[in-house]
A and B are shown apart, each in its own frame.
Chain A
Amino acid sequence: MPAPAGLRPLTLSQYQDTVTDLLGEVSLPVVQAETSSVAASLSGFSPLLVEQFETAALAAAEIAFTPERRSRLVGCTPGTSADDACTRQFLASFGRRAFRRALEPAELDAYATLSAGAAVALHDAYAGLQAAVAAFLESPHFLYRVELGEPEPTSGFRYTSREMAGRLAYLLWNGAPDDELLGAGERGELVTDAGLGAALERALGDARSHRGVSRWLSDWLELEGLSTLQKDSVALPLMSASLGASFREEIALDADDLVFTRGADAHELFTSQRTFVNAELARLYGLPAPAASGFAVASLAADGSRAGLLGWGGILALHAKPKKTFPTSRGKFIRMALLCQTIPPPPPNVNTSLDFSAAGEVLTARQRLERHRQNPACAGCHALTDPLGLALEHFDALGGYRADEDGLPIDTRGDLDGVAFQDAQSLGARLAERPDAMGCLVRQLFRFGAGHVETAGETPAMAALEAGFAASGYRIKDALRQVVLSAAFRKASP
């Protein structure tokens, strides 16, 4: 049973990327929309958010209609009447891209009337179009993806061909469908295997797919938190105002390299010693600074323990405290984000204090957590999380390498559900060997595209996705193909 069709509020990045697709680069004021695809699907708009959307729409339209930009955007010279040909042509074409479908005649009339009214009131034909553009950007048909589905010719229920244009564009590009994709949708091609396949190949070859993959990673790994990274810069002197952005850029470059430049096996996400660093990341990772400014490809030490995504400073820093490491949080991240498992929260009224040291006794995080696990109420979950997080203890709360923990030796050995590992690098290798890690990766892609966590009814579809991903040799571009062509992505419940 597929998940129900309905409204999908745009995520923050979908909103930003769609505005960019429609108007070119504009700097937008603050809009506090949801950042995760799953959370956005569930969300509603508060009065403040509606106000922020209005402010942003007016600001974006104003920038887009500055004298040096507007003629290229509009493409003809508008007049001030509602039946002006240029006005109607622009509104029909812009509205189609904004609403991800052609405007109804009555809609076109309404937007033309608004435009003419504003043009007369403000004595400026462009000001009329500017008002209409702001209205498009405030309309529910723009702010929600309206994906209501239709009955299939024989039996079942599916997303319409027009809706598939939007679904494909937001999964692959995180942004608006272009004219060609909208055309394919209008011609009914996107409910056929051949038509959808062809549109998919073109979309994958488009430069916007790089943006899509980067946004998916940001959603999956919750990298938004790096924008507000808070660390104690006294305890961690390499902390800087730009570090969070550097972390994000490293991850985006790594992903781009893996998925597009090299088309490599996704297992490398857990094992690769190839990454991209700028000067401050090189310093943090103990590597020579790149010759030129900006980012350059770099090799991590073959005998060091840093490898793959568990070696990304951004991941290590996100799952740590302002000063100290947080092995439980790192382990929980591995279980939940990388293996798609569920870890329940701590039971109520439990003492979560880890201060078990007698006076003068100095303990490592491992020793404190071991004592914590002596409480049977805690042991169940902590046995799942802590050994994995403790494998990363050579990386401090910023992701930098440390040889010891305040003078005490660090022991990173442990086991992943009975399979032993020595350190972070071998934990990455053990994870890569797990079929459920690869399965989780393709599920995370599905969640991003579908906007919900897979339901029990979608279990067979997920199994098919995982099998297809394996058969393709674990190429992420193939995983994208699998998701788009899967029944779970194309079918819905009414």
Chain B
Amino acid sequence: MNVRPFRLDRRAVLRAAVGVGAAGIALPRLDAMLHHHGEAYADGSALPKCFAIWYWGLGNDPKRWVPKATGAGFELSEQLAPLAPVKDYLSVVTNMRPRPPRNDWPHLTGQVGLLTGDDYQGTSFKDGTVKRPSLDQVIASAVGTSTRFKSLEIRVGGVDPGQGTAQDHISHNGPNNPNRGETDVKAVFARLFGSGFQAPGAGTSAPNPRDQVRKSILDLVQADAERLKPRLGANDRARLEQHLEGVRSLELRLTNVAPSAPTCKQPLAPAVPADMTARHQIMSELVAMALACDMTRVVTYEYTSPATHLQFPEIGVHEDVHEWGHTHGVDDLVEKSIMYWMNAFATFLTGLKNTPDASGNLLDRACVFGTSCTGFAPTHDFADFPLVIVGRAAGSLVYPGIHFRPASDDTASRVPLTLLKAMGLPATEWGVGSLHTDKPINELLT
């Protein structure tokens, strides 16, 4: 399908909207309805903020990670240098670490503690999981209710089945209910831009009878579930309720006209990528367009999984970099890998920056959190844990960005709390027990 140029008289839409009076109808957010400065919708409401976690495994090498100067205008360190194209939008937080109550699974406890605010839950064979929803889902529950997808989860590298849900996944709805990242570019394209996609300005088409049938099926499924619920115990009822949330979001997707935004267009269907670099490039482009089209406002981008047992043949790393790090410490092979990951992060971020948006580019309304499973991976050290924040969050995050480094080692839970505030949630604390904090990083907020 091609994108047809389209103009719409804003006053015509407004007249039509006024015409139907207070009863109102849900209108697609067409570009023509934007405020002429492009900073807000015609009714004055703010452009939607969007949130992403960009995650990689095996952390950093703090010696080459921590920038020398703090504050604004800091100079990028060696390992942060690839992020230079988005430097203005970039803040780095160092000298913080997750403080999980225990650390017997170091690649899991740190990131689970940071991203869910609670202890990793692993007590017996095959049941390693989280206790609470992850940060992205907390945010999605607040900002993702009106979009086609409450959230989007992508994974580029690595499959490691059968290790419990926290080993492979970082987005969680709750215990034993991970949001598995999609790894297939064709599946992601079909889901976002396939038959359900409506190009901007395509208007509301006549209801498709097949969609009506799908809706009837989903109604019946919900009725089946409601009948079952009273017979269940509390845990199963919660489990079924979570299932129903998925059913309802499918139904919403059928009834809602896909909201359109000024720079939204259907990308070309991707070819099967030759390697991980190519897959990441395609996924980054699809995510940028999904955000530009306001199909979702929350993305979890798992570039690689916690612990990252992968080789990177594209850059001549023909060893499992996790095992190599443990047996050789950080050497050229590991350094080269870290730089490769940071270049991949830069690909993702420049993709957002190069996507024009009503307010400038996507980074103007985005809040991207880059983090990992450890600091220095070979010893599972959490000191100077990777904590990178990119974007202006529609004016809520400081611009240009800063390097923030507290005088003494502090809890990394302050970052999720800061991000909740930047995303406009009325949060006053994050985490429980040793992971608890009520101190956002005010220096990052405007």
Contacts and interface: CB of A to CB of B under 8 A. Distances in A.
B236 A7 contact: yes
Nearest to B209: A121
Contacts of A146: 228
Contact of A349 (B103, B220, B326): B103
A323 B319 contact: yes
B342 interface: no
A144 B438 CA distance: 41
Interface in B209-258: 209-210, 212-214, 216-218, 220-221, 223-225, 228, 231-233, 235-236, 239-240, 242-243, 245-247, 249-250
B356 interface: no
A1 interface: no
B242 A134 contact: no
Given A224-B162, A225-B162, A348-B380, A46 B125 contact: no
B7 interface: no
Interface in A57-80: 58
Contact of A44 (B106, B239, B378, B381): B239
Given A111-B220, A140-B224, A140-B240, A6 B173 contact: no
Contacts of B179: 46-48
Contacts of A54: 214, 217-218, 250
Interface stretch (A35-43, A399-407, A430-438): A35-43
B318 A43 contact: no
Interface stretch (B31-39, B180-188, B429-437): B180-188
B443 interface: no
A344 interface: yes
B308 to A, nearest CB: 13
Contacts of A321: 320, 323
Nearest to B153: A48
Interface string A17-50: 0000000000000101001101100111111111
A65 to B, nearest CB: 13
A114 interface: yes
A54 B323 CA distance: 40
Nearest to A143: B243
A336 B217 contact: no
B106 A348 contact: yes
A139 B151 CA distance: 24
Interface in B133-178: 150-151, 153, 159, 161-162, 164-165, 173-178
Contacts of B164: 39
A386 B326 CA distance: 17
B235 A6 contact: yes
A336 B236 CA distance: 29
A416 B233 CA distance: 45
Nearest to A222: B162
A134 to B, nearest CB: 6
A322 B308 CA distance: 13
Interface stretch (A180-188, A244-252, A297-305, A350-358): A350-358
A38 B221 contact: no
Most buried by A among B129, B161, B165: B161
A122 interface: yes
A37 to B, nearest CB: 10
A110 B219 CA distance: 10
A349 B320 contact: no
B283 to A, nearest CB: 15
B204 interface: no
B228 A47 contact: no
Residue of A48, A232, A321 with most chain B CB atoms under a 10 A cut-off = A48
A107 B220 CA distance: 10
A466 interface: no
B154 to A, nearest CB: 11
Contacts of A139: 220-221, 224-225
Contact of B126 (A39, A349, A354): A39
B126 to A, nearest CB: 5
Nearest to B378: A353
Nearest to A227: B161
A120 to B, nearest CB: 10
Interface string B289-329: 00000000000000000000001000000111001001111
Given A6-B233, A139-B221, A44 B329 contact: no
Contacts of A344: 104
- With most chain B CB atoms within 10 A of its CB, the pick from A47, A348, A351, A354 is A47
Contacts of B245: 47
B299 to A, nearest CB: 13
A491 B77 CA distance: 63
Given A42-B176, A228-B161, A135 B318 contact: no
Interface in B359-382: 378-381
Nearest to B235: A6
Interface in A109-130: 110-111, 114, 117-118, 121-122, 127
Nearest to B318: A232
**Chain A interface bracket (under 10, 10 to 19, 20 to 34, 35 or more):** 35 or more
B127 interface: yes
A232 B311 contact: yes
Contacts of B159: 228
B184 to A, nearest CB: 7
Contact of A351 (B218, B223, B231, B379): B379
Contacts of B242: 44-45
Contacts of A117: 213, 216
A47 B250 CA distance: 8
Contacts of B246: 45-51
Contacts of B446: none
Nearest to B182: A48
B213 A121 contact: yes
A50 B245 CA distance: 9
B216 A47 contact: no
Nearest to A455: B124
A4 interface: yes
Contacts of B187: 30
Given A234-B318, A322-B320, A348-B380, A122 B125 contact: no
A475 B407 CA distance: 67
A353 B247 CA distance: 47
Question: In the complex, which of the residues A32, A50, A110, A141 has the most CB atoms of chain B within 10 Å of its own CB atom?
Answer: A50
Contacts of B236: 6-7
Given A43-B176, A342-B125, A131 B217 contact: yes
A7 B237 CA distance: 9
Nearest to B180: A32
A51 B224 contact: no
Contacts of B221: 135, 138-140
A347 interface: yes
Given A45-B242, A228-B159, A50 B327 contact: no
A17 to B, nearest CB: 18
A348 B104 contact: yes
A470 interface: no
Nearest to A234: B318
Q: Which of B126, B129, B329 counts the most chain A CB atoms within 10 A?
A: B126
A131 B221 CA distance: 12
A35 B328 contact: no
A345 B167 CA distance: 13
12 contacts: A6-B236, A42-B176, A44-B242, A45-B239, A50-B247, A131-B216, A139-B224, A148-B231, A222-B161, A321-B320, A348-B102, A351-B378
Interface of A: 4, 6-7, 30, 32, 35-36, 38-39, 42-51, 54, 58, 107, 110-111, 114, 117-118, 121-122, 127, 131, 134-135, 138-141, 143-144, 146, 148, 222, 224-225, 228, 232, 234, 321-323, 336, 342, 344-345, 347-355, 453
Task: Give me the 10 closest cross-chain CB pairs, A-B, nearest first.
Answer: A50-B246, A44-B177, A348-B103, A47-B246, A42-B176, A135-B217, A45-B243, A118-B213, A121-B209, A139-B224
Interface of B: 102-106, 124-127, 129, 150-151, 153, 159, 161-162, 164-165, 173-180, 182, 184, 187, 191, 209-210, 212-214, 216-218, 220-221, 223-225, 228, 231-233, 235-236, 239-240, 242-243, 245-247, 249-250, 311, 318-320, 323, 326-329, 378-381
